C-alpha cells in the first residue's frame, strides 16, 4: 500500500457496509479518501472517528442517480483536493420487487445506481488520472450474482434485476480494460465479486426473511471485502487482478 500513501481515493456508497469499511481501511493506510454517499451524516461520523489516522476522510453528499450531481462532485474533488488516483465503485441498491409484477421505476433506479453511476464515476476518474499522468486503479464491486443467478432461501427474497446489474458491472470492467489496453494506458481495472455480505443492502426486505437467509447461508463481513480491496491495491504496478471472487467458507451461491 506504500505506493498509495498520500494519494486521493474516491469511494462511493461510503456511509455504511462495504464502502465504509473500505474507506476506513484506506484512511488507516495513509490514503486520503472522498466518501460519497446520500447520507452524508454517516460519513461525517466516520470521518470524526478516523480523525487521528494518517489519512483523511472527506465526506461528499451526492445522489448517484443524478449525473449532474456526480459531475459537480468530481469537479469539487479536482478543484479542492486534487487528482484521483483510486476509484472504488461500490454503491449498490436492491429493491423488494419481482420481475413479473414489479415497479419499473425501482428497476431503473437499480440500474442507475449499480451500473450507470459506475460508468459516470469511472469516466470522470479516468479523466482526472489522464490529465495528471496518474497510473491509477479502479475497483468495481460486483457480486457472485454477476456470475450466476442464485436460488434464494425464500420465495419472498427475490432479487429481480440485481443480478443483471452485476453482470453488467463485470462486462463493463472487461470493456474498459480493453479500451485502456488499446490506448496503452497503465490504469488498472479490477472487479471484486463478494458473496453474501452482512450489510444494509437488503434493508428494503422484511427483516424475518433476511434473518432466514442469514440462518441458512454463511455470510461475509464488510471488513472481509475491504481487506480484499486492499489486497488488490497492494499489488505492484505491473500486476492487474482482473477479478477477485470472495465467498464465505461453505457458501453455495
pLDDT score recorded for residue 97? 82
pLDDT score recorded for residue 52? 96
205 is catalytic: no
Query: Which residues have CB under 8 Å from 193's CB, separation 6+?
Result: 141, 142, 143, 144, 146, 147, 166, 170, 243, 244, 245, 246
Catalytic residue chosen out of the listed positions 118, 162, 217, 231: 162
What would the pLDDT profile of 30-88 be if each residue is shown by its tens digit? 999 999 999 999 999 999 999 999 999 999 999 999 999 999 999 999 999 999 999 99
pLDDT score recorded for residue 153? 39
pLDDT score recorded for residue 3? 92
> What stretches in the chain show pLDDT beneath 70?
152-157, 198-215, 252-253
pTM of the predicted model as reported, rounded to 2 decimal places: 0.92
Task: Write the DSSP assignment of 111-172 as a string of letters.
Answer: HIIIIIHHHHHHHHHHHHHHHTT---EEEEE--GGGTS----SSSS---TTHHHHHHHHHHH
CB contact at 8 A, 25 and 48:
no
Identify the sign of the CA torsion 151, 157, 161, 163: negative
pLDDT score recorded for residue 182? 97
Amino acid at each position: 500500500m506504500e505506493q498509495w500513501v498520500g494519494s486521493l481515493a474516491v469511494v462511493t456508497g461510503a456511509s455504511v457496509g462495504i464502502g465504509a469499511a473500505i474507506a476506513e481501511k484506506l484512511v488507516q493506510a495513509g490514503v486520503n479518501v472522498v466518501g460519497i454517499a446520500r447520507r452524508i451524516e454517516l460519513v461525517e461520523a466516520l470521518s470524526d472517528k478516523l480523525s487521528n489516522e494518517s489519512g483523511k476522510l472527506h465526506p461528499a453528499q451526492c445522489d448517484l442517480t443524478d449525473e449532474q450531481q456526480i459531475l459537480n462532485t468530481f469537479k469539487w474533488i479536482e478543484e479542492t483536493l486534487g487528482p484521483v488516483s483510486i476509484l472504488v465503485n461500490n454503491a449498490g441498491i436492491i429493491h423488494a420487487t419481482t420481475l413479473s409484477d414489479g415497479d419499473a421505476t425501482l428497476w431503473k433506479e437499480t440500474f442507475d445506481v449499480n451500473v450507470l453511476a459506475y460508468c459516470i464515476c469511472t469516466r470522470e476518474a479516468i479523466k482526472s488520472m489522464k490529465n495528471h499522468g496518474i497510473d491509477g486503479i479502479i475497483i468495481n464491486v460486483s457480486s457472485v450474482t454477476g456470475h450466476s443467478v442464485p436460488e434464494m432461501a425464500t420465495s419472498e427474497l427475490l432479487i429481480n434485476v440485481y443480478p443483471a446489474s452485476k453482470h453488467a458491472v463485470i462486462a463493463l470492467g472487461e470493456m474498459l480494460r480493453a479500451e485502456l489496453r488499446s490506448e496503452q494506458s497503465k490504469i488498472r481495472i479490477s472487479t471484486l465479486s463478494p458473496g453474501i455480505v452482512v450489510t444494509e443492502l437488503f434493508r428494503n426486505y422484511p427483516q424475518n426473511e433476511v434473518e432466514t437467509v442469514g440462518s441458512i447461508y454463511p455470510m461475509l463481513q464488510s471488513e472481509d471485502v475491504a481487506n480484499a480491496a486492499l489486497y488488490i491495491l497492494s499489488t505492484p504496478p505491473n500486476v492487474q487482478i482482473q477479478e477477485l471472487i470472495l465467498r464465505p467458507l461453505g457458501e453455495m451461491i
